[in-house]
Structure 1
């Protein structure tokens, strides 16, 4: 648990310079009101109003010794933030994006730790929480932003503070509690590509102790491109969402919330842009990266569709001024019909119709103590989850085949955790935490090859002829249990009211599992190895940070440096294979690798300056050096030829906000001129280099917003990606499969201009 001399030597000059800057200038994680284009803070009082619950209790952002960034509802509204993926441009060492071929499945990485594969069996490296409820699966996790109080993003392992393991970090989506008086709000958006959105929210008390409320949201937009085969849309959006809640306060010490939410995504299948000419047909590369020639539109006879819903009950009871207890009970389900046309051509060359279903039940109890010198939280957590997927891999060739793959993964996990902080002196405090986790994983995997390109019985073709069964691991043969204790220790020294330095050591853990695409025959994996599955991954992180405020909070600088020792990194992937020995790849299979060792070091600097009461400048710069040290393939250490995916070495963001007092129609108000410039360094999409990788790029956003003095009316004009930069966010890489070869890329949103109007009744 000590930062040895050898580990200190690994901190390169860039990080050592950041340490010097940290000491000279002071710094902390950016304030909530300073992230994005934020309302101007003009006094120390305004800074101290920023309250987060990063440690499961209310603390000011400046006091919490954790790398956390917070976004308030007002900030998100002011710049028309569409969903949580848009937050990444202002977050150090963070990648949040929609997964390839999807609109609503989330890929999240923080400080090099994450998970890009959305299949059953692979858990996220970054925990996504809605009101402290962990989302076990990435499907439907690209949450559109509505009915939100704030969003908090924590970097580094958080296992001693949260119910589920969060080895890389956590994104907390905190919804708004119901108002004590009748409250109604309406937000409407129109924009390019036929964008039309509406969010309506209302709540009212029905007695002195009970309130009810709900939100309905509709997000609709035409495609950025066209499907040249079907005439339909590509990259369109058609999402409906709703949330209902009831809150009860029988007395001043008891709070109960019952909530339910529903999301339905009826967007068209998102298909990629081919980066290579058709190998057989010579089909050219299309000029518009958002256009496609894909012909697969259905899975199991269903149009593409994602449905997700959940219910929860939260009970909080304040025992006395020091003790409080909380219970969080939740159940969630989602179902996705996903027709994925890998080759993006009008012919049937490599197509994958798929079905994903997920369900989970979780229960958490925690006890919070808030004494004069000691504060802390302790809890127990249980989750019972099932993730199931089945899909066909339909491949053209000398003998067309349809490979059916089914993965059914059960997870039962429980944990106990505690984290407390004791104030040793007026300025010095010590935090200690620990977590004990037990993960039980059981799986069933079936893989069969059928003749022809019409699909398998499992995907709606009962007349298919079975050629061979490559994998049949059902009946309880795949089972593993992983146990781990992970500690955390932090020392926090508040030098004075404005400067707060901390040093911490924390460990993270994510249990092992089984690849749901396992091919015992084609990849010649020994049965014993298949039954063992892949191992857990662990991380040890050292962090040094300093949080400061100057000139009564008008200027803040926030910095942190970190070093992580990452062991047994879980890297799922798919590889093309030759199953019949004829020298031609005729299928693909999942191969999950535990890369033995990796070292990650980095620095993060965030700052804000309120130059005048009306003019704010803020910025972020982050650096990360993530490197594999041990990565064996076929018995050979290939670490020097592997790189970390979704982890750009350099990221930066610069934001300005200038408020102009301007009375309109007899009402006071102000116009805010908001600008943002973001930079992302070169980004690898996989561990090996390919055409899908994205070189460094810049994005520019501008907003002009009028807000009435009383805050009830806001109107804005917003431009996103004004440079119309085309940048890759993912892709499929199987150039040797099928007759045409598959090398397709997916892209982030092009330039969009929209207008918003918000009214609070």
Structure 2
């Protein structure tokens, strides 16, 4: 507490010094001058065409590049603070795997074959898998969060919403930007970005690269493999992007991009919340310390290229083509039990390839605007994992259940959405998308009485016996299924005044049907999930300095896909069946407010309220009678309340301009497991402060950022393989140990950034 007080005093002293300097040089400014304040005009592409935020009848939050920089936001997950009813968090095993929920809809299992509930897009290119989806901020123009189903314009797997990462177009001038960040836990981030005109006013080359590293927040204090890196929650990442932009004529634009990210951060070790029954290792002192019997290395590789063509036929009609290909490779180590023994270890490999092609025909006239297109997606999602249960089967020399296979898909879609002005004030929006998807799946599932790993050399001296594994691991599923669906949208917008729009809408989204990637035998595919959403909202601005946007919503989430654990002969069976278990609903309200009382001061706030629950979960009793067990199910990663309040204060001095900012972000309590939840995170708040400086010549900039000032500890993920015994204790689960594991968000950090723009 004393340490935090000292740090807070230092930040307060820095801010007060700048304020004093500002008053000294600005005392001759008139009061009238200081009250001339207006809000920044915000543009978004939520409806696949650039529009003013205030004219879009969609619940959308947009965070610009300037806001990202001035708040010291370096990774996409921090955007959740600015979007109500939104969860964007790094998953359990790596820094780069994303857990995304919006309005209680998402997907927490990153295994191949499972589809996300929130779509992630880079420049309108869909990212099919969560591995590598925790994007670091690099050469970005803005990030948009679209809340609610986006099934008409964006298609499958956007039943909760979509997150759009929009990179910036080149200005045409030669530029070079250098920046370095140094901070807590030996943070050392280096970024370089630039652009150069190869042919003036025609052809430009742009690039951006980043090397991001820091030590771990904790350590693997006991490791069964000596000599390896024992840092836990560390970061070691490289990202790069290259772009060619060509404008041969005034009405034709072409962009070719390539990007690659390689994350070599260690695998994350979880915090044991219960003492181990099989080892003498106590519960660690720090939430970021762990034990492991596995290699600590981990890798997430993600790369892709894209080609965008835009051609203006005339003032009203535009043609657009988006072609993209991406692939990822992720060998990973997950120690479920987090002990020095092989109680429940899961080494795994995720491997994905995707290709997409979208053709758009867009129209913008006096009374009608239209976005329409054709879309094709082909994706191969494969993997292997080995569930090693050595301690429970030592008498046999160990036991491993290996599961491997692929879920491959081909999707076609056609869509159109238009808004027509019925009167000068009233407009009607109609949209419809037809989607057709075929999936084929193979699953190999079997047991070998030894400890095996996905590849030879997984740890020093290990040799994989492929012939033995091929003989012992049979193919248990080889099937194909096709689904098709129309997803509509209908809305009314009423422009009451130039600065006040009221809107209401109905929209539908669907998450693709799929096969169980852990199937232990033949089983049918599950049907798609469907979400029906109803919204009523307001977009308003008052006196040019107050913006108030509000949305109320109700959604009905049907045919939810979930895995049920089936009883087997013993714990090694790992029998799981994927099915459509039931229905959930959510009702909520979202408010976003921005107020600029003076030209120097900007205040903002957001509030998300949601009441979400399972309404029906179908099961059967011992006599085969149908029963409803919805009282044992909960909506995860969805606090009833999310709120954010903050400020930004800018000032001019004779040594440059300063921007001081801060925000307080609050999340009420939330559960971490869908069935028989054992871990809940109590409500908590994060306080963040920042101070930015820009030189008078426009070349230099610097920033000081203090995140999680009060050093809050909060859960973002878990593994639970125990059962309550009814007396306050637990019955050991898979592997025979008390495996109840928590993963935590970032602790308090301080960083300093210095940059130069040529």
- Counterpart residue number, 1:66: 58
The one of 561, 567, 582 equivalent to 2:558 is 567
- Counterpart residue number, 1:654: 645
SS of the counterpart of 1:640? helix
SS of the counterpart of 1:82? coil
* Aligned 1:691-702 pairs, distance under 5 A: 691-702=678-689
SS of the counterpart of 1:86? helix
Moved more, 123-132 or 179-188: 179-188
2:603 matched to 1:605?
A: no
CA distance in 2 between partners of 1:158 and 1:691 (Å):
33
- Counterpart residue number, 2:203: 210
Structure 2 gaps, min length 5: 1-32, 224-228, 621-625, 723-732
- Counterpart residue number, 1:405: 403
- Counterpart residue number, 1:705: 692
CA distance in 1 between partners of 2:230 and 2:112 (Å):
30
Deviations 1:282-338 (A, max 9, x none): 43111101011112116xxxx421111101111100000000000000000000010
Sort the Cα spacing of 1:62 and 1:455 in 2 relative to 1 into closer, same or farther, 3 A: closer
Structure 1 residue 370 displacement after superposition: 0.5
Sort the Cα spacing of 1:760 and 1:126 in 2 relative to 1 into closer, same or farther, 3 A: same
CA distance in 1 between partners of 2:470 and 2:165 (Å):
48
Contact 2:378 2:409 in 1 (8 A): yes
SS of the counterpart of 2:77? helix
- Counterpart residue number, 1:16: none
The one of 251, 275, 278 equivalent to 1:277 is 275
Deviations 1:480-539 (A, max 9, x none): 11110011011001111111110000011112111111123xxxxxx4xx1x21111101
* Aligned 1:181-330 pairs, distance under 5 A: 181-208=173-200, 209-230=202-223, 232-297=230-295, 303-330=297-324
Structure 1 residue 466 displacement after superposition: 6.5
- Counterpart residue number, 2:362: 368
- Counterpart residue number, 1:620: 606
Structure 1 residue 709 displacement after superposition: 4.8
Moved more, 165-174 or 351-360: 165-174
Sort the Cα spacing of 1:374 and 1:366 in 2 relative to 1 into closer, same or farther, 3 A: same
SS of the counterpart of 1:397? helix
Moved more, 272-281 or 68-77: 272-281
Contact 1:471 1:519 in 2 (8 A): no
CA distance in 2 between partners of 1:546 and 1:710 (Å):
42
Structure 1 residue 469 displacement after superposition: 6.0
Structure 1 gaps, min length 5: 1-39, 521-526
CA distance in 2 between partners of 1:41 and 1:449 (Å):
73
The one of 635, 638, 645 equivalent to 2:636 is 645
The one of 366, 390, 393 equivalent to 2:387 is 393
Structure 1 residue 384 displacement after superposition: 0.5
- Counterpart residue number, 1:718: 705
Sort the Cα spacing of 1:97 and 1:115 in 2 relative to 1 into closer, same or farther, 3 A: same
CA distance in 1 between partners of 2:133 and 2:575 (Å):
26
Contact 1:163 1:364 in 2 (8 A): no
Deviations 1:333-358 (A, max 9, x none): 00001011111111111101101100
Structure 1 residue 547 displacement after superposition: 0.9
* Aligned 1:506-525 pairs, distance under 5 A: 506-520=507-521
- Counterpart residue number, 2:529: 537
SS of the counterpart of 1:612? coil
Structure 1 residue 677 displacement after superposition: 0.6
Deviations 1:591-615 (A, max 9, x none): 3232322111100011111122212
- Counterpart residue number, 1:727: 714
Sort the Cα spacing of 1:323 and 1:709 in 2 relative to 1 into closer, same or farther, 3 A: farther
Deviations 1:237-270 (A, max 9, x none): 0000000010111100000111100000011111
Structure 1 residue 159 displacement after superposition: 2.0
Deviations 1:413-435 (A, max 9, x none): 01001110011111111100000
CA distance in 1 between partners of 2:248 and 2:156 (Å):
30
Structure 1 residue 646 displacement after superposition: 0.9
Moved more, 639-648 or 689-698: 689-698
SS of the counterpart of 1:190? strand
Structure 1 residue 229 displacement after superposition: 2.4
CA distance in 2 between partners of 1:456 and 1:387 (Å):
16
- Counterpart residue number, 1:3: none
Contact 1:402 1:456 in 2 (8 A): no
SS of the counterpart of 2:603? strand
- Counterpart residue number, 1:167: 159
SS of the counterpart of 2:642? strand
- Counterpart residue number, 1:176: 168
- Counterpart residue number, 2:108: 116
SS of the counterpart of 1:607? strand
Contact 1:161 1:417 in 2 (8 A): yes
Aligned length: 696
- Counterpart residue number, 2:572: 586
Contact 2:115 2:157 in 1 (8 A): no
2:380 matched to 1:379?
A: no
Structure 1 residue 56 displacement after superposition: 1.1
Structure 1 residue 43 displacement after superposition: 6.8
SS of the counterpart of 1:591? strand
CA distance in 2 between partners of 1:60 and 1:375 (Å):
14
CA distance in 2 between partners of 1:43 and 1:446 (Å):
68
Deviations 1:668-721 (A, max 9, x none): x32222111111011111113444321111111011111235643321110001
TM-score (norm 2): 0.89
CA distance in 2 between partners of 1:406 and 1:196 (Å):
38
CA distance in 1 between partners of 2:344 and 2:550 (Å):
47
Structure 1 residue 456 displacement after superposition: 7.1
Structure 1 residue 168 displacement after superposition: 1.3
CA distance in 1 between partners of 2:466 and 2:84 (Å):
53
- Counterpart residue number, 1:498: 499
Sort the Cα spacing of 1:185 and 1:238 in 2 relative to 1 into closer, same or farther, 3 A: same
TM-score (norm 1): 0.88
CA distance in 2 between partners of 1:41 and 1:742 (Å):
60
* Aligned 1:319-468 pairs, distance under 5 A: 319-395=313-389, 396-398=391-393, 399=396, 400-455=398-453, 461-462=464-465
CA distance in 1 between partners of 2:94 and 2:519 (Å):
23
CA distance in 1 between partners of 2:34 and 2:210 (Å):
31
CA distance in 2 between partners of 1:41 and 1:359 (Å):
55
2:552 matched to 1:557?
A: no
SS of the counterpart of 2:222? coil
- Counterpart residue number, 1:745: 742
Sort the Cα spacing of 1:452 and 1:71 in 2 relative to 1 into closer, same or farther, 3 A: same
Sort the Cα spacing of 1:245 and 1:186 in 2 relative to 1 into closer, same or farther, 3 A: same
Sort the Cα spacing of 1:81 and 1:257 in 2 relative to 1 into closer, same or farther, 3 A: same
